[in-house]
Amino acid sequence: MPTAWKTPSTKTISGIFNDGVTGIKKKAIAAYDKREAAAATPSPRAATAPRMRT
Amino acid sequence: MRVFKLTLVALAATFAWTAAAEAIEVKKRREAPGKPAEVWAVVGDFCAIKDWHPAVAECEQIEEGGDTFRILTLGDGGKIKEKLTDSDDTSYSYEIIEGPLPVKNYKATLEVGEDDEPDRVEIEWEAEFDADGVEDAEHEDHLRHLQ
């Protein structure tokens, strides 16, 4: 549950930071998953390119 | 003479306690997969906070007198003005210029660094500030309960 900033008080600051680093972690995981998915999927060009004759 | 010495000791103790209670620190860390530059590319822009912090509805970046500021609009419409004071490839530091939070002399740094494990990062957000309106000791006690 995100920290509410509607009623600022001294008690909210630690919660604000918690929500922030958790939000960054989510973004990092999404970026990592995207990178891994891209690495696992062969590019269309590679899949359709004729094999080189040896 | 003895009373004088005792008074000096008491004064020294008071000053030491006051100095220790001057600033409050809050530090939060998380680990995540990825490389620092890769994560920073997503969250490192000064106004990217609107994308990763659930309490920030909008962020406007402005330049004033050669300095960079961001104005955060919170979910209820409250606004916080912050000044960028330093930055490098995977970190930035800033201070609050004005806002509704009960703090003063607020300075903070956000950093994404390498973790000990390969292909993982350590996200760290830390701040130092004084309580504005309540005793620091009381303030710090509140924060310790929440950490």
Nearest CB to A20: which of B53, B102, B138? B53
Q: Which residue of B has its CA nearest to A15?
A: B146
Residue B33 lies in a domain: yes
Nearest CB to B28: which of A6, A11, A21? A21
Residue B52 lies in a domain: yes
Question: B96: domain range?
Answer: 24-145
For residues B97 and B100, what is the distance between their CA atoms, to the nearest angstrom?
11
For A26-36, the pLDDT digits (tens) are 999 999 999 99
Quote the pTM value.
0.75
In this prediction, residue B143 carries a pLDDT of 53
Residue B79 lies in a domain: yes
Residue B96 lies in a domain: yes
Mean pLDDT of A18-30: 96
Averages of pLDDT over each 10 residues, chain B, 147 residues: 52 45 85 97 97 96 98 92 98 95 91 95 94 61 49
> CB–CB of B24/B139 below 8 Å?
yes
Q: Which residue of A has its CA nearest to B141?
A: A11
Task: Please give the tally of structural domains in chain B.
Answer: 1
Residue B6 lies in a domain: no
Q: Is the ipTM of this complex over 0.85?
A: no
Q: Measured between CA atoms, how close is A46 to chain B, in angstroms?
A: 25
